[in-house]
Amino acid sequence: MAESMQGLKRTYRCGELSVANIGETVTVMGWVQKNRNKGGLVFVDVRDRSGIVQVVFEEGKMDEELISRAASLRSEYVVAIVGRVEKRSGAVNTNLLTGEIEVIPSKLRILSESETPPFPIEENSRTKEELRLKYRYLDLRRPDLQRNLMMRSQVATLTRQFLSKEGFLEIETPVLGKSTPEGARDYLVPSRIHPGSFYGLPQSPQLYKQLLMCSGYDRYFQIAKCFRDEDLRADRQPEFTQIDMELSFVDVDDVIDVNERLLAELFREILGVEVSLPIPRMTWQEAMDRFGSDKPDIRFGMELTNVTEVVKDCEFVVFRTAIENGGTVRGINAKGQGAMPRKKIDKLVSFAKDFGAKGLAYIALQEDGTIKSSFAKFMSEEEMQSLIHAMNGEPGDLLLFAADKNKVVWDVLGNLRLELAKQMELLHPEEYKFIWITEFPLLEWSEEQGRYTAMHHPFTMPMEEDLKWIDSDPGKVRAKAYDIVLNGNEIGGGSVRIHQNDIQEKMFEVLGFTKEEAYEQFGFLLEAFKYGVPPHAGLAYGLDRMVMLMAKEDSIRDVIAFPKVKDASCLMTEAPGVVDDKQLAELGLETREEKE
């Protein structure tokens, strides 16, 4: 039977009670975590989002009726307890914040009963994720998820406080917008009033925030929902959240400065971690050359070495062909891994193949000075020695080489480096290493589309000194773009924008848009730029990913209240769902696919 809470008022959250409250009469409300009946002595743990407190019902100390009602409590009943805080009579529980005290009740109300939940509500649940997502409202009761969502709220609050102190205005931009499918696929919303027309849900507020700069709001931010209808990749969500910002009358350094201070504030306040400023910067080219990645994890070394020059004359065809085809040969040195069993090396080879390598060449330097190598027979003694020397190889090391086009070599060794670091336990979870990656290429050649695409987006400003190559060698032009990387994860990125019409038009031309096409899609922006546009730049963080890293979780699903699964469906609400024909007719739509 559910009782009302009339006449009662919660005075504390369960986890807030401590020795400081001893002697005080308090009222707590929450869920029964567990109930241990020792005959005449009933221990009830009551839980809310702040923690757990132990309530002790003891024969002789209180009404029989109170004790028998306590004995009837089951997991997840919602209760209100009035009682006195006392020092724990039994063993102190150092695992609990409230472990030194207990509550001796004078009142118990059962506010609501509960059926047996489909899985236990507990920290580090071992229940399958599908089941937990189906009952997400129960899953969200678990302390780990509650901590994550509270941390997320704290990130949002501190961000708002910090940015408003820095003169930023929080401005909302539309969710129903125009479809501009550059980049990922848009989610479309059919218009009832304009049959056959569709809104596109924003992939980011990019165009609106640039327009806000044209309108003079010189510092904008928004914690914005974004939507991308991408193919199913691990740990992506069709809707996700950005901390989005844009600033006028600034250049790269200004954006970096305010964001470094924002990050330092968040990490200090929430994690007690001091981020030492300035955060180091590295150009894209250097990141690729040294780490094989534009989001390098710099918590460990194992950097790439380019040995193309060293091996260019050797007889090993794999190396020679790669070099002849304009590629390179690069290697990494896995220190102390020279004794790795052949089987394990083979696993690394197939790992490398997953990233496009045709193979992986290795030299395992044994402690006794001998060498095991997959290609020694094609090399002279001297060539082998100079290669080992170039790699700083010492007895006991494992040297791994990839030979191919740069892109493949970087990808293979960049990922191999991370895999080895995992195996060698070089990734310390307590370490937070930030780095800015700057000077990205402006354009990327797309084999699929047979044209250049924007590496960031089409509004990104080329580096002034590279503009001279925009016609002759567009691939060489660098952009005023930057990413902020934390422990090998890109957590944010942005750029200085083009604010000159002629450069913007040129950019569209290089991207293969006709003037009409550019106007068709982005006309309102190009028009706006005719009426006085300030130089501007901005950046957006992936909030989900940032909180995931701060909370040391492996998936963004663990920091989103109601996430979707890989196929973009929600296991709890069963969205997306079919709608009835009347709704479709109103929208002027008919479906071709069979309804599920």
For the record, the structure tokens of 120 come out as: 């236990």
How crowded is residue 129: how many other Cβ atoms within 10 Å of its Cβ?
15
Site for ligand ASP in 37-76 (CB under 6 A): none
Using the minimum distance from each CB to ligand ASP, give the nearer residue, 142 or 536: 536
Question: Is 539 a binder of ligand ASP (CB under 6 A)?
Answer: yes
CB of 494 to ligand ASP, least distance (A): 4
User: For ligand ASP, which stretch binds (CB under 6 A), given 89-97, 158-166, 471-479, 532-540?
Assistant: 532-540
User: What residue type is 139 in one-letter code?
Assistant: D
Q: Is 528 left (phi over 0), alpha (psi -120 to 50) or beta?
A: alpha
Which H or E element spans position 153?
Answer: helix 143-165
User: For ligand ASP, which stretch binds (CB under 6 A), given 43-51, 108-116, 337-345, 487-495?
Assistant: 487-495
Q: Which residues contact 146 (CB under 8 A, 6 or more apart)?
A: 49, 140
Paired with 508 in beta bridges are none
Question: Is 538 a binder of ligand ASP (CB under 6 A)?
Answer: yes
Q: Select from 204, 415, 450, 435 the least CA-distant residue to 302.
A: 415
Query: Residue 215 phi/psi, 5° resolution?
Result: -85, 0
Q: What does the per-residue mask of binding to ligand ASP show for 407-436, with x meaning CB under 6 A?
A: ------------------------------
CB of 206 to ligand ASP, least distance (A): 4
CB of 576 to ligand ASP, least distance (A): 24
Site for ligand ASP in 268-297 (CB under 6 A): none
How crowded is residue 460: how many other Cβ atoms within 10 Å of its Cβ?
21
Question: Is 494 a binder of ligand ASP (CB under 6 A)?
Answer: yes
CB of 493 to ligand ASP, least distance (A): 5
CB of 344 to ligand ASP, least distance (A): 39
Question: Is 493 a binder of ligand ASP (CB under 6 A)?
Answer: yes
CB of 498 to ligand ASP, least distance (A): 12
CB of 306 to ligand ASP, least distance (A): 31
Question: Is 237 a binder of ligand ASP (CB under 6 A)?
Answer: no
Q: CA-CA distances (angstroms) from residue 468 to 332, 438, 443, 477?
A: 36, 20, 15, 8
Site for ligand ASP (CB under 6 A): how many residues?
A: 8
CB of 247 to ligand ASP, least distance (A): 10
CB of 482 to ligand ASP, least distance (A): 9
Site for ligand ASP in 156-215 (CB under 6 A): 204, 206
Q: Select from 385, 376, 382 the least CA-distant residue to 316.
A: 376
> What distance in Å separates the CA atoms of residue 365 and residue 454, rounded to the nearest whole number?
44
Q: Where are the beta strands (DSSP E) in 67-168?
A: 78-87, 101-112
User: For ligand ASP, which stretch binds (CB under 6 A), given 28-36, 122-130, 282-290, 535-543?
Assistant: 535-543
How crowded is residue 527: how many other Cβ atoms within 10 Å of its Cβ?
11
Question: Is 540 a binder of ligand ASP (CB under 6 A)?
Answer: yes
Which one-letter DSSP state was computed for residue 549?
Answer: H
> What distance in Å separates the CA atoms of residue 224 and residue 542, rounded to the nearest whole number?
10
CB of 210 to ligand ASP, least distance (A): 9
Which one-letter DSSP state was computed for residue 21?
Answer: G
Q: Select from 94, 83, 95 the least CA-distant residue to 55.
A: 83
Q: Is 123 exposed, middle or buried (0-12, 13-18, 19+ CB in 10 A)?
A: exposed
CB of 292 to ligand ASP, least distance (A): 23
User: For ligand ASP, which stretch binds (CB under 6 A), given 167-175, 386-394, 491-499, 552-560?
Assistant: 491-499
Question: Is 238 a binder of ligand ASP (CB under 6 A)?
Answer: no
User: For ligand ASP, which stretch binds (CB under 6 A), given 174-182, 229-237, 249-257, 490-498?
Assistant: 490-498
For the record, the structure tokens of 127 come out as: 């229940």
Q: Select from 323, 331, 315 the least CA-distant residue to 404.
A: 323
Using the minimum distance from each CB to ligand ASP, give the nearer residue, 183 or 190: 183
CB 333, CB 392: distance < 8 Å:
yes
Of all residues in this chain, which one has the CB nearest to ligand ASP in the complex? 204
Question: Is 373 a binder of ligand ASP (CB under 6 A)?
Answer: no
What is the 3-state secondary structure of 433-476?
A: CEEEEECCECEEEECCCCEEEECCCCCECECHHHHHHCCCCHHH
Sole binder of ligand ASP in the list 337, 373, 495, 504 (CB under 6 A): 495
Question: Is 259 a binder of ligand ASP (CB under 6 A)?
Answer: no
Give the distance, in angstroms, between the CA of residue 138 and the centroid of all CA atoms in the same chain. 24
Sites of contact with ligand ASP (CB under 6 A): 204, 206, 493-495, 538-540
